[in-house]
Structures are given as structure tokens and as C-alpha cells.
Amino acid sequence: MAAMRSSAVAFLPLSELITLAGFGSRLAPCDLSGLAAVGSHQLLQSERTALFCSAQTSGDSILRAHDTVRYLRDTERTVISGFHSPIEKECLKILLRGKQPIIICPARAIENMRIAKECRPAFDAGRILYLSPFTEKPRRVTRESAKRRNDLVAALADAAFIPHIAPNGETERIAGLLKKWHVPIARTAVDLRAMEQQRLRDLVQEGDGLHL
């Protein structure tokens, strides 16, 4: 494991975060003055697909997750996630084989955090940005810190991929929050393709409207 120097951690003020990523109305309820960040802030300017998956996941959901994350990797979509649950960790390994940006949001402070050996090449290449709503504490993940981190990931999402939602769990709560914010949720790569096609149609219609 390679140590991340504390001097590499920068504070990203809320105003700058909103300028880069948008969604100021969503970020306001997250009770943030800003974020601790390590890596290129410019990765926030790309459209972001959030990845969430319940810890207890069926075999079919795992296969669907692998297929869809390969699609995200091959189309070079920026993926944002805590990469905490077992399936999310597996998805991170798939994404690291690609070239697309990855935004990792730990549910703890990132000062003096260690970058995993498998993440180091992508980090050194400028493909990984670490974001945390915490400074100094907590040093370990807690239920409350995971909830606050998930709220942040959802607030920064242009779209979301959720291969499995366990009933009455944290992922179900996040899915409800995404729906409240009208963030499109995909369960498969087919869903993601359909969402992209719809977005392109909307852009064409907006362009046509400007010329009327």
C-alpha cells in the first residue's frame, strides 16, 4: 500500500463544488461547507453515473452488475461511488481496467489515507478523484458516515446504476432520494443505452427550439 501524504488533501469549498458539478439545490441539504479532495477537481465537470448496490445481492444481480459496469467502462463514463459493498468493490476492479474517470467517496476522513496498490496507476494518471464530506474524523466508517456519504454521491449524480435494491435498506432509501430529484435510475446496460438515447433526443429538441 502506498501512503497518501496529508499535504495532498485539498479543501474544495461548496461554492467551487457547485461551479464544477452543479446541483446546488441538492447539495444544500447535505450540510456541507465543502469537501476534502485528492486528485483532479476537473473530473467533476464530466457527467457522472452513480453506482449503488446492496450488500446482499443475488447471483443474477451480480452478473448484471458486471455486464453493465463493463459497458460504463467501455463507453468511458465517469462513475462515482463509495465502492464499499462487495459488489461495488468488484465493479471498481473492472473500472480500473479502463480509461474513464472514477470518483471514489470514502465514508471517512481521507487525511493520511492509503491508496490501494491497484488504484495507484489510475490515480497517478489523473483518472481518480477522492472526495469526502469529512475532515479529520471519523477515521473509520460508521453507519451514520456511510449514510452521509451516500447522500453526497446521490447529490452529485446525473444518472444512477443500481443493480439490486434490498427492501427496507439503505440502498432503497437512496433510490427514493434519487427519484425525488428526478435522477434516472438504470438496472441494466440496456437501461443506460435508452437513457443516453433519450438525452440525445432531448438535446436535439432543445437545439431545434432555439432555431424557431
Q: Per-domain residue ranges for the chain?
A: 2-207
- Please compute Rg for the chain using Cα positions: 17
146-183, pLDDT tens digit by residue? 999 999 999 999 999 999 888 899 999 999 999 999 99
Q: 2-207 has which CATH code?
A: 3.40.50.450
Each as own residue / partner, the long-range contacts of residues 117-124 (CB below 8 Å, 24 or more positions apart, any chain) are 117/1, 117/2, 118/93, 120/2, 121/96, 122/96, 123/39
Assign 38 a pLDDT band (cuts: 50, 70, 90): very high
| Alpha-carbon span 164 to 212, nearest angstrom | 44
CA angle 4, 10, 16 (to 5 degrees): 145
The predicted model gives 30-51 an average pLDDT of: 91
Give me the phi and psi of 79, to 5 degrees please. -115, 130
Sheet with 159-161, edge to edge strand ranges:
10-13, 34-38, 128-132, 102-104, 78-81, 48-51, 159-161, 185-186
Tally of CB atoms within 10 A around 191: 15
